[in-house]
């Protein structure tokens, strides 16, 4: 399986885990709490697989950056959390950083 697909699945699992963390209401709801543990476990396992072929700094930058974007979007859509202009601008810079790593970095596989 291509490394970027594995990384995307790790980001997706982390996003599911973080969304469930919000839904767990501080671990007072069993179903979402179990999902948090499972999703984070899957995410970290998949993340570890990507480290076989990519440097940890690049992997973590992509994983955390994409996770921030997805969680902010889910927070806005699902939990009605507001995003102000500085937050949107900051996320735009994250997208730019991800693009720079993917397009120009010799440390990331192409």
pLDDT, one tens digit per residue, over 70-89 is 999 999 999 899 999 999 99
Residue 110: pLDDT band with limits 50, 70, 90: low
DSSP 30-61: HHHHHHHHHHHHHHHHHHHHHTTTS-HHHHHH
Mean pLDDT, all residues of the chain: 92
pLDDT over 90 at 106, yes or no:
no
CA 90 to CA 65: how far, in whole Å?
11
Predicted pLDDT of residue 33? 97
Return the number of other C-beta atoms located less than 10 Å from residue 6's C-beta. 19
């Amino acid at each position: 399986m291509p490394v970027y697909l594995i990384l995307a699945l790790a980001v997706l699992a982390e996003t599911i885990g973080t969304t469930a963390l919000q839904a767990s209401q501080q671990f007072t709801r069993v179903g979402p709490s179990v999902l948090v543990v499972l999703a984070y476990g899957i995410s970290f396992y998949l993340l570890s697989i990507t480290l076989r072929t990519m440097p940890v700094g690049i992997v973590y930058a992509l994983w955390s950056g994409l996770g921030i974007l997805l969680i902010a979007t889910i927070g806005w859509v699902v939990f009605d959390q507001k995003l102000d202009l500085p937050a949107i601008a900051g996320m735009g810079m994250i997208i730019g950083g991800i693009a720079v790593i993917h397009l120009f970095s010799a440390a990331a596989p192409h």
